[in-house]
């Protein structure tokens, strides 16, 4: 008769162990992101630039925030303002959670985009957007780091020119790890969904 309580105890122990193991497996499964996953395919966020207040900053200054990295320039006639307006709506939809997010707008036109010009430009779209500039070498190194691209078009003769550039948005978690990539074709719903995942303190990055 005494064997039955022992057998029951062993059975319960096995079930508890199995449940714990299953939970561990579930936590290690990929998160259900809707955007393109780049975890393990892109390096961590890393840079040494100047922000739109003229202060030297590094990626470490934005640790603790989910960051959206975008390359553009203030004279851009179309894709840059459209992207920043798009991101502003996304931030509005996040509500109070948006305080945990920063939009990093890196200028690929440092010759014209001074910190003051960048500050006025990005803040016209969203107060959580930060303009970043630096030396041409620093900008080029950062662009290459994330396999982006840009090229300056010929001067029109009056000092005006356009800069062709890639339009992806690189999204990093609060630890600076690259997680997902957004393109102009991706919906606001997908961005909001994935940002909610990255802002969830219970999510294991």
The reported pTM is 0.83
* pLDDT-derived band at 18, boundaries 50, 70, 90: very low
Domain assignment present for residue 177? The answer is yes
Look at 1 and 178; give whichever has higher pLDDT. Answer: 178
Q: Is residue 205 part of a domain?
A: no
* 80 vs 24: which has the higher pLDDT: 80
118, 84: one domain: yes
**Which tens digit of pLDDT belongs to each residue from 114-162?**
999 999 999 999 999 999 999 999 999 999 999 999 999 888 777 789 9
Give yes or no: residues 60 and 126 share one domain.
yes
- Residue 147 sits in a domain whose CATH number is 3.40.30.10
Task: Report DSSP state, residue 99.
Answer: G
Assigned domain for 204 exists? no
Shared-domain flag, residues 17 and 53: no
Q: Taking a C-beta distance cutoff of 8 angstroms, is the pair 72, 83 a contact?
A: yes
> Domain span at residue 24?
1-30
Are 158 and 61 part of one and the same domain? Answer: yes
Q: Is the pLDDT of residue 9 over 50?
A: no
Domains: count for the chain: 2
> Which are the contacts of 66, defined by CB distance < 8 A and separation ≥ 6?
100, 101, 102, 171, 172, 173, 174, 195, 198, 199
């Amino acid at each position: 008769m005494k064997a039955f309580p022992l057998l029951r105890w062993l059975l319960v122990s096995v079930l508890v162990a199995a449940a714990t193991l299953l939970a561990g497996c579930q936590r290690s499964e990929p998160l259900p992101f809707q955007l393109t996953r780049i975890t393990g395919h892109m390096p961590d966020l890393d840079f040494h630039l100047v922000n739109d207040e003229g202060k030297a900053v590094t990626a470490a200054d934005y640790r603790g925030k989910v960051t959206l990295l975008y390359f553009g320039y203030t004279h851009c006639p179309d894709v840059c303002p459209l992207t920043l307006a798009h991101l502003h709506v996304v931030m509005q939809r996040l509500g109070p959670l948006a305080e945990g997010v920063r939009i990093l707008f890196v200028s690929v036109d440092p010759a014209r985009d001074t910190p003051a010009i960048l500050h006025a430009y990005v803040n016209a779209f969203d107060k959580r957007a930060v303009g970043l500039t630096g030396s041409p070498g620093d900008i080029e190194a950062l662009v290459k780091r994330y396999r982006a691209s840009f090229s300056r078009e010929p001067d029109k003769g009056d000092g005006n020119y356009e800069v062709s550039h890639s339009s992806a948005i690189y999204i990093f978690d609060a630890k600076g790890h690259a997680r997902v990539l957004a393109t102009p074709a991706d919906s606001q719903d997908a961005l909001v969904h994935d940002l909610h995942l990255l802002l969830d303190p219970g999510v294991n990055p």
